[in-house]
Structure formats: C-alpha cells, structure tokens
Structure 1
Amino acid sequence: MATEAKGEAGGLVFHPMDQFIVSPLFGDGPVGLFTITNVTLWMALTIIAVIALMVLGTSGRSTIPGRMQSIGELAYGFIYKMVEDVAGKDAVGFFPYIMTLFMFIVFANFLGLIPGSFTTTSHFAVTVVLALLVFITVTVVGFVKNGAAFLGLFWVSSAPLPLRPILAIIEVISYFVRPVSHSIRLAGNLMAGHAVIKVFAGFAAIAAVSPLAILGVTAMYGLEILVSFIQAYVFTILTCVYLKDALHPSH
C-alpha cells in the first residue's frame, strides 16, 4: 500500500497521493476518452461484486438463508426501511435506484481497502457524476409531480414576510450547492483516509518508529472500514432526504 524510495539526501521519500493517479491498464500512453484504466477495472469489479452478492448469492433462495443470502437480505431490508422512513411510502418506487447507489458505493469503498487496489469513489469524477444524477433526478421528479408548486421548497412561509425573499435566495443557493457537498463529502473522506494510511505505511520503513507506524496503520485501516460504510450510508440517506423534498416540497 505504501511506496518508499530513498531520496538524494538519504531520507525516506513517499508520495501519499500517487495511489489516486489514473493510469492506462495496458501500455503507458495518454488517458483518452475510451482508454481502459485502473478506474475502469475497479469499477467493473465493483459491479461484478454487487451482481455476485445480489443475483448469484440469492439465486438459490431457501427458508434458512446462507451467508450470502443473509447479507443480501440484510442490505435489501436496510435500504428499503431507510427509503420508507426518510422519504415516505410514495418514494418506494425509487428504491431500486437508491439500492443500486448504496451497493455500488459501499462495494467500491470496501474494494478500495484491498492492498494494491484503486478506490474509485476517491475521485471527484466518479462522485460528481453520482451526485449530479441524484440532483437531476430529484429536480425532474419535483417538477413532474408538483409542477410550479415545487418552487415552494424555496419559499419559507413560516418566516416573517420581509425575510422571505432573502431566505429564498439562500435556499436556492443551498439547493444548487447540494451536488457539490454531496460529492465532495464522499470523495474527500475516502481520499484523506487512504492518504493517511499511506503516510503511516511510509514511516513503517524507519526502524525507530516502525512499531508506532504499524499500530497507526492498523488503527487507520479499522477506521477506514467504518468510514467506508458510513460514507455510503450518508450519501444514500441524503439522497432520500432530497427525494423527500421533491415529493413533498411543502413539508
């Protein structure tokens, strides 16, 4: 997970951000629009892992579930209850989309913890697309279901009348900032955690601090396992909150 090299002065040199470099999977040429890269590989592995769990793992369904069926059913029930509790029963129709989002993000996060792997959700190019898809979907649903009444989301009727125009401007700005915060939160947390792990791993080569560095790597790795799930959960529950605003703009 760490790459170390001796510098000209004999000191330890490591680059924590090198692990996030997008590189061609075949050859050393430039990365183009249709270039197969390490990102492509690990996104494909993420999709395969989700299919293996949710399709192949539950294909032989039984009254007494096996391990994979139990995990699949647990994930299904967990996200279904989240959608129903947060966004309401009329949002259940969007459950397949939200379930797909959660499974993709959580598997991408966990696969990124494998030594030598690539964390696709640490790149803004990935998380921004996911956040924009949520933003566009929610906006379209809001106008299709409510028409012009969807604009009531930005009008704080409970506030004093002189303050309402100012609050409306703030609400509009905060609405359009949603995809930015939605994407940065996910990518930023994963990037920071992986960078810290690599820093600790780099110091593990120094004999004097090696035990502390190894302890630091172990602690950070355990924390990243927790963060990987929490960030997938946060992204998903925010999607449910935004969907609730689209379905019930007056609430």
Structure 2
Amino acid sequence: MAAEGSGIDPMHQFLVEPLLGRPLVIGGYDISFTNSALFMFITLIVLGVFMYGGMKRALVPGRWQAAVEGMTGFVTNMMQTNIGPEGRKFTPYVFSLFMFILFANLIGLVPLGIVPGWHPFTITSHISLTAILAFFSFGIVLVVGFARHGLHFFSLFVPHGTPWYIAILVAPIEFMSFLVRPFSLGLRLFVAMTAGHILLDVFASFVVQGIHGGPLGWTVSALSFVMIVGVSALELLVSAIQAYVFALLTSLYLNDAINLH
C-alpha cells in the first residue's frame, strides 16, 4: 500500500480491515468479517486439507502421509521427552497448537503482494491472537496443576530442599516468574513475526523507490531485492522455530504442572 511520500507503508500489512470495505455494525457491535478472520479460516482450511490428505494409513506411505506422520511423531517424541508417559494425553492439544502456528506463519509469507490490491495477512503478528493462545495454554497448566496436586501445587515456587530463610526470598521471585510466562510466550511469537514482516516491507520500499533513482537507484534496488530473498528464507526458518518454541515451552510448563519439577 502506498504511503504518502514514502512508497510503501510497512505497517499497513498489520491493519485489520473489513473485507466489504465498510464496517458491519449490529446493535452497536462491529461484526465485520475482516482480513484477519479470512486468513484464520484459510489457515484452518489448509491445515485441515493437509491433515486429511496425510491420514490415508497406506501400508507404504507416500510423501504426503510421511509428512503428516513425521509431524505427529515429532510432537509425540517432544511430549514423551519433556513430560514422560503422561504427556500423551496432552499431545493432541500441543500438536494442534504447533501446526496452527506453523501454518499461520507460513501462509503469512505467501507473496500475494505481487497481485495489485492484495497482501498477505499474518495472524500471528497480532498480539491479540498470540496472547489468547498463550493464556489458554497457561490456563490449562493451572487447571492441571491444581487438579492434580491441589494446594501442594504452590510448592512449585520453592525448590526442594531450600532452607526456609532462603525460601522467603525465592518464592516471590519464582511466583512472579511463573506469572510472566504467558506474557513472554505470547510476546515472543508476536515480536518475531512482526519484525520480520516489517523488514521485508522496508526492503520492498527500497526496491520500488530505487527503480526511479537512476543507476545508483537501480543498484540499491538490486541489493534490496537480494536482501528480500535472504530475509524471506530466514522468515521461513523463523516461522518453524517460533511454532516449535511455542509448543516446546507449553510442554515444559505442562511438565511443571504434572511433575512439579
């Protein structure tokens, strides 16, 4: 989207807009179907197709089935390693979390910007979504912890064998660290995806502006395009890493609730 005097506005890609161009307000509430909602549906549809196509259970698995089985095995092994046998009951949730974030990140990198009037929307670049995922995971941790251990769950904030005079200082610090978990979990994903997309748009702005700047401008455009290719490759890696980190930390937090380590 062109910004006044600057070619490309790197923040426009994060703007939530009604698809019909004008808000749909009923009873004082805006119920517009937005670009954010659209890409959530696209993510769910693509993820559903991927899972459905890979669940054929053929004796000799094809590439599609092997990809799905590889993903499920990856998450299952992570839960087994971090939690133990009891982690299997939480594997479906963590697997769904991992796959949803992964596909949302990757779909946000689809180069729709080459089509006039279109641009991709990365739903994980909005703190509202990442915070919901983080607090939902944190809520599950609290429910599991108190359901399994009752008030003994508070012993999580006092390392085993700590003298009482040290525990007085350690417990509040551990408690505050525990409360910060959902904020850091949501912010980490939000910041990583937002920063990468802003960087891509900034280099895209250099490409557009350099074309009209003579020989030096063309050089800047060429170098900026090379940087876009490099940053795009890095963003693909970051998309997978951030999905993995979110799932990994969720499993570790569940381990604390289950085993009180």
Report the TM-score when normalising by structure 2.
Answer: 0.89
Question: Could you say which residue in structure 2 is the equivalent of 1:248?
Answer: 259
Residue 130 of structure 1 deviates from its aligned partner by 0.2
Distance in 2 separating the partners of 1:17 and 1:92 = 41
Correspondence 1:172 to 2:179: no
Distance in 1 separating the partners of 2:80 and 2:192 = 27
3-state SS of paired residue (1:16): coil
Task: Find the partner of 1:106 among 91, 102, 114.
Answer: 102
Gaps of at least 5 residues in structure 1 are none
Distance in 1 separating the partners of 2:170 and 2:31 = 45
Correspondence 1:188 to 2:199: no
Question: Could you say which residue in structure 1 is the equivalent of 2:19?
Answer: 25
Mapped contact 2:39–2:123 kept (Cα < 8 A): yes
Distance in 2 separating the partners of 1:185 and 1:47 = 22
Residue 156 of structure 1 deviates from its aligned partner by 2.3
| Number of aligned residues | 243
Mapped contact 1:4–1:202 kept (Cα < 8 A): no
Task: Find the partner of 1:227 among 231, 238, 244.
Answer: 238
Distance in 1 separating the partners of 2:24 and 2:187 = 26
Q: Which amino acid aligns with 1:231?
A: Q
Mapped contact 1:80–1:92 kept (Cα < 8 A): yes
Correspondence 1:52 to 2:38: no
Report the TM-score when normalising by structure 1.
Answer: 0.92
Residue 102 of structure 1 deviates from its aligned partner by 0.5
Mapped contact 2:53–2:65 kept (Cα < 8 A): no
Distance in 1 separating the partners of 2:38 and 2:2 = 25
Residue 237 of structure 1 deviates from its aligned partner by 0.2
Distance in 2 separating the partners of 1:141 and 1:28 = 44
Query: What aligned pairs does 1:1-251 form with structure 2 within 5 A after superposition?
Result: 3-4=1-2, 7=5, 12-29=6-23, 32-58=29-55, 60-115=56-111, 116-205=119-208, 206-207=210-211, 208=217, 209-249=220-260, 251=261
Residue 25 of structure 1 deviates from its aligned partner by 1.3
Mapped contact 1:157–1:164 kept (Cα < 8 A): no
CA RMSD of aligned residues (A): 1.5
3-state SS of paired residue (2:74): helix
3-state SS of paired residue (2:18): coil
For residues 168 and 6 of structure 1, do their structure 2 counterparts lie closer, same or farther at Cα, with a shift above 3 Å needed? closer
Distance in 2 separating the partners of 1:54 and 1:118 = 22
Distance in 1 separating the partners of 2:31 and 2:98 = 26
Distance in 2 separating the partners of 1:236 and 1:34 = 31
Q: Which amino acid aligns with 2:258?
A: L
Residue 157 of structure 1 deviates from its aligned partner by 3.3
Distance in 2 separating the partners of 1:84 and 1:51 = 25
Which runs of at least 4 in structure 1 moved beyond 4 Å after TM superposition?
A: 30-33
3-state SS of paired residue (1:156): coil
